Amino acid sequence: MGLGDCQAGEKRKLYGQREPGAHSLTKVNTDKPSLLILDCDGVLIDSEIISARMLIEELAGLGVAIDLGYVAKHFLGRSYPTVMAQIRREFGLELPPEFEARYRERLLAAFEAQLRIMPHVAEVIADLGVPACVATSSSPRRVESSLRLVGLWDRLGAVTFTASQVERGKPAPDLFLFAAARFAVQPEECLVIEDSLTGIRAGLAAGMKVWRFTGGSHMGPDTPPEPEDAIPDLRFASFADFYQIAPQLKRQQ
């Protein structure tokens, strides 16, 4: 079940959203980066609530009761090993050896049935006039499966980087710096698109420009202002507006 199928109250609980009508930050940006770095979950694919609900169900089977608010605070934007470390630390629970494999298999099955590409993102990628790559906390198998399901793997698979390739995952800057180095681009020449506060912090720590995408079914334009340590350079709610905000990023015909 995706977040789009949840009640509005559940959505606000997941990301601490205000009631509809709250102010939404927008800016106009004229800088042209040398590299666009895209997060995957919650940016390219509408996957975050599917993952959250699946994890909640799996942990409930072991007697651990968490809710969407807990997932949002501790897990969104983080790698699986980090999530498991938090569970062990918080609940004193050693997960059985088969837990990870079972969770991943159930999640991939849910993705096959429910996963959707973010609206208009394929068109944006097709028309980009700057190099682009993916930097995600997902495992290599999960990100490949996800991008194949939504038809983006052929375009982005060769330039997809995961937390397994660096020592520290988000919110550390390692993954974004790794991606920039692979393209021989300086951090200040990069633009990161993220949805989670964890990812925003990682991009800022890397010295990159960061835009926050709030258009996934788990968020929206009424998402509240970010805390002081995770303020993006720009926030937008639809990839349909991407080239209106930054026309300089579109490939010249």
Which parts of the chain sit beneath pLDDT 70? 1-30, 77, 220-222
Q: What is the pTM of this model?
A: 0.80
3-12+25-47+116-249: CATH topology is Rossmann fold (3.40.50)
CATH says 48-114 is which class? mainly alpha
164: its two tokens: 């397994």
pLDDT at position 56 is: 87
Do residues 218 and 49 make contact, with C-beta atoms less than 8 angstroms apart? yes
Going through 125-250 in order, the beta strands assigned E by DSSP cover: 132-136, 160-162, 190-194, 209-213, 234-236
106: its two tokens: 């159930």
pLDDT at position 78 is: 73
Going through the chain in order, the beta strands assigned E by DSSP cover: 35-38, 132-136, 160-162, 190-194, 209-213, 234-236
The number of residues in the chain equals 253
Q: How far apart are CA 99 and CA 204, in angstroms?
A: 34
Task: Give residue limits of the domains in the chain.
Answer: 3-12+25-47+116-249, 48-114
97 prior amide bond cis, ω within 30: no
Buried b / exposed e along 137-174 (16+ C-beta atoms within 10 A): bbbeebbebbbebbebbeebeebbbbbeebeebbbbbb
Do residues 206 and 180 make contact, with C-beta atoms less than 8 angstroms apart? yes
Q: Give residue for tokens 């199928």.
A: 5
